[in-house]
Structure 1
Amino acid sequence: MRMGKKRGLIFFFLIISLSLYVDAYKNYTVGDSLGWYDILENSKIDYHKWTAGKNFSLGDFLIFNTDNNHTVIQTYNFTTYKLCDYNNALDNDTIEWSAADPSATTPQSVSVAVPLTKVGMTYFFSSDYDGEQCLNGQRFQINVTYGQGLPPSLRPDDGSPGPVSPESGDDESVPDTLVPSNFDNPKDTTDDQDETSNSIPLSAFSKLIGIQLHGLLIVLGFFILYC
């Protein structure tokens, strides 16, 4: 077999193997290790830079690491976002996932998992101190694509996800993904961690098969090249 044909086959196998990972649901830790704060607390905060180059799709989750002195507001209304105004937002286009706790004497750590459930532009900001945190850089906007669509646990027929209270940690409705304990690295896995169960969820099974096929295709490609 000619070298050109061999390289063509290897390229074909690599494209197929890489496509196995394109539609995997992901967790994105907002701000990475810097968390969810404004520039008055951390001058290195730049959420516009954080969103650059990322592809957000239905079924993905945003993980907000912050404290109870900051809020997590999601809106589909650009005016609400631009004005940093949660108080005058409409109920059907804005969600408060985590509220501030003015009674707290010391800041308490909060981790909030927010699912992406609607295609198109969506906006996030902190509304605490009458929008002052938002005006000081604690906000960003992203474009959500369809991807592989919503997983069953996030579809309207199965119940829409509700806001996460500041006291709660990982949202139990997080589908097909596991929120890492250090919240620094997105990780694709199953949320079914019941050690007493011998069954394998369909999502976990499909990903396992995908990993095996990925390795098999790479080995096959090198075999064609050198044999």
Structure 2
Amino acid sequence: MKTVVVMVVVVLAAAANTKKVSGYKNYTVGDDLGWFDKLEKSTVDYQKWASSKTFSLGDFLIFNTDNNHTVVQTYNSTIYHLCDDSDAVGNDTILYASPDPSASAVHPVSVAVPLTRVGPNYFFSNDYDGEQCENGQRFSINVTQGQGLPPSLRTPTPGAPGPVSQESGDDTVPDTNVPANFDHPKDISDDDDDDDDNGKKKSNGMITQAWGGFSRILILLGLLYSCW
């Protein structure tokens, strides 16, 4: 009798403990060391930093660096291993920040890079003909599907800062590529996306889970009644 009562209480507690949809994540590359090569920060090990983390669609990488370093994202392993993006074609490589040779002084730069493609993603600095990349300013990650892209990353926001065009000839870097109102990550429930398929799947999954728990409660209550 007591065992059955305990089982009912446990199931009730489990049913009440509904899972909150986890938010997308921001990862500060290199943590407090920032985004630099070993000639400036001898202890940086970006591959080690990345190896302990799980990256998914919709997450952001925040690169805290200065105007003497670049942020290159590529899906081309050859470009990554050569530390050279001069042969980049199509959409396989994105230059998010380029050096500012006209700057009279070094100034900080912060760049937010969204993860928008599943699979291998490679990052490096191509400044000084790839010297920074060759001196440790590089790493690769594997991006998983996770909860999928949020609506804000499926359609670019008008006026939002974007990558530097490699054909533009503009080698300048703004003080920051991170908007002042940057509020990522969010819970997916914060997005107005009621018609989104992923949202429907998550809602249906939660309903199914709740109904399954309720059914188990009914069964155990029946057992409890039969014991009486």
**TM-score calculated relative to the size of structure 2:** 0.69
The percent of aligned pairs where both chains have the same amino acid is 55
- Equivalent AA in structure 2 for residue 167 of structure 1: P
Specify the alignment match of 1:163 in structure 2: 163
Q: Alpha-carbon deviation of 1:91?
A: 3.8
**1:148 equivalent in structure 2:** 147
Q: 2:108 — aligned with what?
A: 109
2:16 & 2:62 partners in 1: Cα distance? 34
Q: 1:12 to 1:92 in 2, by over 3 A?
A: same
Question: Rg: which structure is higher?
Answer: 2
Contiguous gaps of at least 5 residues in structure 1: 180-187, 191-200, 207-227
Q: Which residue of 1 aligns with 2:183?
A: 178
1:171 Cα deviation from its structure 2 partner: 3.5
The letter for the 2-side match of 1:171 is: V
Q: Equivalents in 1 of 2:78, 2:87: separation in Å?
A: 10
Return closer, same or farther for 1:161/1:167 CA change in 2, 3 Å cut-off. closer
* Equivalent pair of 1:112/1:166 in contact (CA under 8 Å): no
Residues 55-96 of structure 1 deviation map (CA, whole Å, 9 limit, x = unaligned) = 111111110000000000000000000000012222421010
Q: 1:53 to 1:128 in 2, by over 3 A?
A: same
- Give the C-alpha shift of residue 26 in structure 1: 1.1
Q: Which runs of 5+ in 2 are unaligned?
A: 165-171, 195-228
- Following the alignment from structure 2 to structure 1, what is the Cα–Cα distance between the partners of residues 60 and 84? 24
CA 1:13–1:114 in structure 2 vs 1: closer, same or farther (change >3 Å)?
Answer: same
Mean Cα displacement is larger for which, 51-60 or 158-167? 158-167
Q: After TM superposition, which residue ranges in structure 1, 4 or more long, deviate above 4 angstroms?
A: 6-14, 156-161
Q: State the match for 2:96 in structure 1.
A: 97
- State the Cα distance separating 1:4 from its structure 2 match: 6.4
Is the 8 Å Cα contact of residues 153 and 173 (structure 1) preserved in structure 2?
no
The 8 Å contact of residues 69 and 128 in structure 1, kept in 2 or not, is answered as yes
Aligned pair 1:57/2:56, yes or no?
yes
Tell me how far apart the structure 2 counterparts of residues 92 and 62 of structure 1 sit (CA, whole Å). 19
**Secondary structure of 2:48 counterpart:** helix
| 1:10–1:107 Cα change, 3 Å | same
**Equivalent residues, number:** 182
Give the Cα–Cα distance (whole angstroms) in 1 for the partners of residues 173 and 10 of structure 2: 54
